[in-house]
C-alpha cells in the first residue's frame, strides 16, 4: 500500500477458483460506472461530501491529484486491479491519452447529502505536465509486461 498525502492506493486482492479470479468489491453507499473518453484531459474536481473509490475495469488513465500545489500523476489500468481512495477535499482530475475509452467503477462513500459543488469542475491552477503523465503510464505498462 502506498499513498499520496491522504490518497490511498491499494492493490486489490483476489481469490482464485480454477482459472477465474474473484475480487472483493468495495463497500459503498452508491456505485457509479464512469467512462473517461479517449484523448481526454479533464479539469479538476473536489468533493466535499464523498470519498471516491476508483477501480479501472477497462483501459487505462492517469489520475491527477493536486497535493501541496504540485501535481501527482498516478497511473491506473485494468492490467493491475488497484483501488484508489480519494477522500473529501482532495482536488483530482483525469488524463486519458489513449485512443480508447477508459471505464472505471467508483464505489462512493457518502458522508452527508450530495452537493452540486461536488461535481463542479475547477480549472487547473497551472497546466498539467502531459509528458510526466505519459511517462508514468509508460512505466506502469512496462512493469505490467514484466510481471506477466
In this structure, what C-alpha cell is assigned to residue 85? 481512495
Residue 45 pairs with which residues in a beta bridge? 92
In this structure, what C-alpha cell is assigned to residue 48? 466535499
| Residue-wise pLDDT tens digits, 103-120 | 999 999 999 888 777 778
Residue 74's alpha-carbon distances to 14, 30, 49, 54, 132, in angstroms, are 22, 24, 23, 12, 10
Classified as helix, coil or strand, 82 is strand
In this structure, what C-alpha cell is assigned to residue 13? 486482492
In this structure, what C-alpha cell is assigned to residue 127? 497546466
Do 75 and 20 meet the contact criterion of CB atoms below 8 Å apart?
no
Task: Break the chain into its structural domains and give their ranges.
Answer: 2-127
Question: Residue 54: which pLDDT band, with cuts at 50, 70 and 90?
Answer: very high
Question: Residue 43: which pLDDT band, with cuts at 50, 70 and 90?
Answer: very high
Do 93 and 130 meet the contact criterion of CB atoms below 8 Å apart?
no
- The contacts of residue 146 (CB under 8 Å, 6+ apart) are none
Q: Region 35-39: what's the mean pLDDT?
A: 97
Superfamily for domain range 2-127: Jelly Rolls (2.60.120.10)
Amino acid at each position: 500500500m502506498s499513498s499520496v498525502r491522504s490518497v490511498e492506493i491499494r492493490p486489490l486482492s483476489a481469490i482464485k477458483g480454477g482459472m477465474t479470479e474473484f475480487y472483493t468489491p468495495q463497500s459503498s453507499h452508491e456505485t457509479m460506472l464512469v467512462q473517461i473518453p479517449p484523448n481526454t484531459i479533464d479539469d479538476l474536481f473536489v468533493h466535499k461530501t464523498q470519498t471516491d473509490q476508483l477501480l479501472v475495469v477497462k483501459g487505462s488513465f492517469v489520475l491527477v491529484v493536486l497535493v501541496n500545489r504540485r501535481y501527482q500523476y498516478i497511473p491506473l489500468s485494468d492490467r493491475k486491479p488497484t483501488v484508489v481512495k480519494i477522500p473529501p477535499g482532495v482536488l483530482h482530475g483525469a488524463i486519458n491519452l489513449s485512443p480508447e475509452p477508459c471505464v472505471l467503477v467508483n464505489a462512493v462513500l457518502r458522508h452527508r447529502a450530495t452537493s452540486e459543488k461536488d461535481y463542479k469542475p475547477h480549472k487547473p491552477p497551472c497546466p498539467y505536465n502531459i509528458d510526466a503523465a505519459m511517462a508514468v503510464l509508460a512505466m506502469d505498462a512496462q512493469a505490467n509486461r514484466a510481471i506477466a
